Amino acid sequence: MLSPGRNILAIITGKEHTCYYARVLDEHASLAVDVLADLVLNATVPEKDLEKEKGVVIEELKNAEDDPDDIIHDYFDKALFGRHPLGYPVIGTEPNLHSFTRKDLIEHIRNHYIPKNMVLAAAGNVSHARLVALAEQHFGTLKPRPRARVASRIKPREYKAERKEYKKPIQQAHICIGTQAWSVKSKERYPILVLNTLLGDGMSSRLFQNIREKYGFAYSVYSSATLMSDAGVFSAYIGTDKLHIDVSTDLILREFEKLCQKRVSNAELNRTKAQLKGSMMLSLESIPHRMMRLGTSELYFQDINSIDAILKQINNVQQDDVQAIAKTLFREDCLSKVVIFPDGQSGRSSAAEPSAASGKDGRAA
């Protein structure tokens, strides 16, 4: 077993991937792969432990519901993707957690944890040859399952803008505005990353400068781009006083419109690309980040793009590319909006349904 005092063992979950992760001294690499293989291949999942862990996850879910600047993104995904799997939170829902059985979980592991779905990635002081040898030693018994019962991937439904409103016993209003975007494999990948950096990533971004610095309406305001295998999400978020909901929304929409109506200057574009490239290069100083980059690249592309190739793609983004992306993303009829209002009351509110301020179809009444 890995010593907790010297090593890190964790499991990271996302919309599309699960990562079993160990960080150890190079001399413990073999032990780390052994432990990870044991977790993946030999999980016994005792019924008693499963039920106990369900309780832990339900408490984690409740904790997330008490964190509005985080949970709003789950609500926003629900607004964008509806009943598609991408519309559900990674952590699950309480009814779902209560409903599945040990048999369901074991069957899921058998159907999904198979060679064609898995990547073993490592970064640090370990050679490729040694990693291959460790993979053969510890994962060599893992065989393909031609008859594995895996639900086919369904592409998200065609887009329909939604308006959702919720109330919670909190002090601040939280707003998320955005739309579905492109996949990580699309040609729009790098233009949308440049657009996101320019609009809302960091202290020099337009949202930060024109909402927080100019008006002081928010402590936290930013944009984000999440690109997945066959879909994506682009959104802007702000946490603000309930008296500033309308004006803050208008300011975000104004920044969207500016990007559609006027090309960014060469100077601003070059600064933005430099910031994006700098952030990417600095992230490579993190060994875990290097490991994650290798693993996700292999899962998405079955290849590893060189850093030089990625930097070249960023450099190739032009003013017209950014404006074209903005015009596609920021059409008024395509923008969904989710707001969590402070209701000024104590106690918990339900996240299952929008507030009475929404119409029967979930749109603002």
289 and 217 part of one domain: yes
333 and 200 within one domain: yes
Q: Give a yes or no: residue 3 inside a domain.
A: no
- Asked if 97 and 210 sit in the same domain, the reply is no
23 and 92 share one domain: yes
Lowest-pLDDT range of 24-38, 63-77, 247-261, 349-363: 349-363
**CATH number for the domain harbouring residue 270:** 3.30.830.10
Boundary residue ending a domain (99, 124, 139): 139
More confident residue, 83 or 153: 83
Q: Does 44 reside within a domain?
A: yes
Answer yes or no: is pLDDT of 179 > 50: yes
User: Looking at the predicted structure, is the pLDDT value of residue 349 above 60?
Assistant: no
Same domain, 180 and 244: yes
Inform me whether the pLDDT recorded for 357 exceeds 70: no
Judgement on whether residues 267 and 317 belong to the same structural domain of the protein? yes
For the cut 50, the answer to whether the pLDDT of residue 348 exceeds it is no
Q: Which two tokens stand for residue 204?
A: 């020099």
Is 158 within a domain?
A: no
pLDDT, tens digit, 9 for 90 and up, residues 209-256: 999 999 999 999 999 999 999 999 999 999 999 999 999 999 999 999
What is the three-class DSSP state of 360?
coil
Q: Taking a C-beta distance cutoff of 8 angstroms, is the pair 200, 329 a contact?
A: no
Q: What is the pLDDT of residue 299?
A: 94
Q: Based on the fold, state whether residues 135 and 177 are members of the same structural domain.
A: no
Contact 195, 314 (CB under 8 A): no
Cα–Cα distances (Å) from 183 to 301, 305, 329, in that order, read 12, 16, 13
Start-to-end C-alpha separation, the chain: 57
- Is there a single domain that holds both residue 60 and residue 172? no
Answer whether residue 233 is part of any domain. Answer: yes
Mean pLDDT computed over every residue of the chain: 90
> What is the average pLDDT across 349-365?
38
Split at pLDDT 50, 70, 90, the class of 152 is confident
Residue 353 lies in a domain: no
Task: Note down the domain range covering 67.
Answer: 8-139
Asked whether residue 184 falls in the same domain as residue 134, the answer is no
Q: How far apart are CA 184 and CA 195, in angstroms?
A: 15
Report the predicted TM-score, pTM, of the whole model to 2 decimal places. 0.89
Is there a single domain that holds both residue 115 and residue 211?
A: no
Per-residue pLDDT tens digits for 298-341: 999 999 989 999 999 999 999 999 999 999 999 989 999 999 99
Residue 157 lies in a domain: no
pLDDT for the residue numbered 12: 92
Has residue 352 been placed in a domain? no
My answer on whether 113 and 180 are in the same domain is: no
Q: Is the pLDDT of residue 143 over 90?
A: no
pLDDT: is 360 or 268 the higher one?
268
Per the structure, how many domains does the chain have?
2
Report the distance separating Cα 99 and Cα 90, nearest Å: 16
Q: In terms of domains, do 125 and 13 share one? A: yes
> For residue 149, is it within any domain?
no
pLDDT band at 355 (very low <50, low <70, confident <90, very high): very low
Residues of the chain with pLDDT > 90, as a percent, come to 82
